[in-house]
Amino acid sequence: MASSSSQVAAARGMGMTNPLAEWTDRVRSLEAGVRAWLAKQPTHVEAAVVTAVGAVQGAALGGLMGTLAPDGGAALPVPPPPPGTDPKVLASFKQAQALAGGPLVQARNFAVMTGANAGISCVMRRIRGVEDVQGSMAAAFGSGALFSIVSGMGTPNPVANAITTGVGFAVFQGGFFMISQKFSQPQSGDTYYSRGRSMLQKLGLQNYEKNFKKGLLTDQTLPLLTDSALRDVKIPPGPRLLILDHIKRDPELTKAN
């Protein structure tokens, strides 16, 4: 056991590191750097970038789902409706068609849905200054309504169906958001880190909450944070810049408790 520990220490001394951990740290630093750059941009620039990234991710997911579906990308074999079909039956047929498209159709539908959700969430977060249930529901409503319009699913009245679908998305997302918030409530012993936790969540750096706790960087220390203090708790350069810039811009965090 002692020899194994000495070998690990020797390997570290020779500069041999875990390539996967090193690559992960670089990716996180890059992501934090991009977030830091976006935080300094106007709202429309950040919203455009976030929407584009979300659309690309959604298109990749939708295309993959359409490719993996049976019958050459048709999830459900939908026969064409006979002439003179009742409008309600025709609406059901259109809904089935929207859910049974091939890779390109699914890529388009998911790109619109995820891109709209990401963009609206970004704008709401900028306007309200926090990521809350209202912003989450607004983003879900917009993405659901646009998905309904683009996919062609629904009733003879596409506007009414878009509103109905948006409301359904918003209610589901609101309930999911509240449940996740309830189960992620901090324990009573973590009350000294509530502001720090909220700050890290806004910045997308919640993975570094444990670093704050290990270094005893409580809410009272936030106005005193420096680059060296964050470096001492092993937070990479990108996240350090993002945290310090956020504290500098937030008047609530610059006030001593």
- Last residue of some domain: 152, 182, 212? 182
Q: Give the closest residue to 208 by CA, choosing from 229, 189, 188, 187.
A: 229
- What pLDDT, in 10s, does the model give residues 6-15? 554 444 444 4
Q: What percent of the chain has pLDDT over 90?
A: 21
End-to-end CA distance of the chain: 48
Residue 19, in any domain of the structure: no
Instruction: Work out how many domains the chain is built from and give that number.
Output: 2
What's the angle, vertex CA 170, arms to CA 43 and CA 182, rounded to 5? 90
Residues contacting residue 171 through CB under 8 Å, at least 6 positions apart: 137
Q: Are residues 215 and 131 in the same domain?
A: no
Residue 20, in any domain of the structure: no
Boundaries of domain holding 200: 193-255
Residue 87, in any domain of the structure: no
- Last residue of some domain: 143, 163, 182? 182
- Last residue of some domain: 127, 153, 182? 182
- What pLDDT, in 10s, does the model give residues 183-231? 765 554 567 788 888 889 888 898 999 999 889 898 888 989 999 999 9
